[in-house]
A and B are shown apart, each in its own frame.
Chain A
Amino acid sequence: EPEVTQTPSHQVTQMGQEVILRCVPISNHLYFYWYRQILGQKVEFLVSFYNNEISEKSEIFDDQFSVERPDGSNFTLKIRSTKLEDSAMYFCASSELHLPDTQYFGPGTRLTVL
C-alpha cells in the first residue's frame, strides 16, 4: 500500500540554524500538507500546497517557514532560523485532488532545537 515517507525521523539542531524536513508524498496525490505537534499537544495545520504554490497557511506559518517541491517526488519544509519553540513533531500529509479527500500522514520528523 502506498505511503507517505519522511526523512529524517529525528533532527537535532542548534537554535538559529536552518533545517529542511523532507517528505515523499503518495505518488498520485496532488495536495500536500505540513502539520506540527508540540509534545503532548494537538496536531496543528501549518500549510497546504497545490500546483506549486501555497493554497492555505495558518498563523503559525510565518516568514521563517517555507515549502517547496524541488522535483517530482519530494516536498520540503524549511525553517530558516530555528527557535526553541519550533521543537515538535512535524508531519507531512498528502491527498488526492478532488473533494472529499482524505489526508494520509507520514510517520513524522521529530525536530529538537537546542
Chain B
Amino acid sequence: AQKVTQAQTEISVVEKEDVTLDCVYETRDTTYYLFWYKQPPSGELVFLIRRNSFDEQNEISGRYSWNFQKSTSSFNFTITASQVVDSAVYFCALSEADTGRRALTFGSGTRLQVQP
C-alpha cells in the first residue's frame, strides 16, 4: 500500500493563480514527520518544510502555506499568487519515527507548471 499519495500528477495554472498540492499519507506510527521538497528543472531536491505529528498548526512562509490535518491524514501545500519560478515537481515525504527510523518515503510527486 502506498504510504504517501499525491493524486495530482500534473497541474497547470496561470501566473498569479493560487494552487493547492494534495498529499495523503498512511502510517501506524504515533511519531512521524512530514516533509515537502521541491525539484526544479535543474534536478536538485530543495527542502521546503518539516512538520511533526504532534504539531497540527498550519504554517505560512511568504506565498507558501501548509495545512496539516491528522483527521484526514493530509498535509496539503498551497502556493498563493503563483509565479513562473514555482514551476517544478513537488514531493511530499513521510518519515516514520516510532522505532527511530529515518528513511523518507516519497510520494510520486506533482508537476506544477505555471504559465506566464
* A residues neighboring B (CB under 8 Å): 31, 33, 35, 41-45, 48, 55-56, 58, 89, 91, 93, 95, 99-108, 110
Interfacial chain A residues near B50, Cβ < 8 Å: 100, 102
Interfacial chain B residues near A35, Cβ < 8 Å: 104
Whole-angstrom CA separation of A102 from B106 in the bound complex: 14
Interfacial chain A residues near B47, Cβ < 8 Å: 102-105
Greatest chain A CB density within 10 A among B91, B101, B103 is at: B103
Whole-angstrom CA separation of A54 from B48 in the bound complex: 27
Decide: B37 and A105 in contact? CB cutoff 8 A: yes
Q: How many A-B residue pairs have CB under 8 A?
A: 59
Whole-angstrom CA separation of A34 from B77 in the bound complex: 26
Interfacial chain B residues near A48, Cβ < 8 Å: 102-103
Given contacts A42-B108, A100-B52, A102-B50, contact A56 B45 (CB under 8 A): no
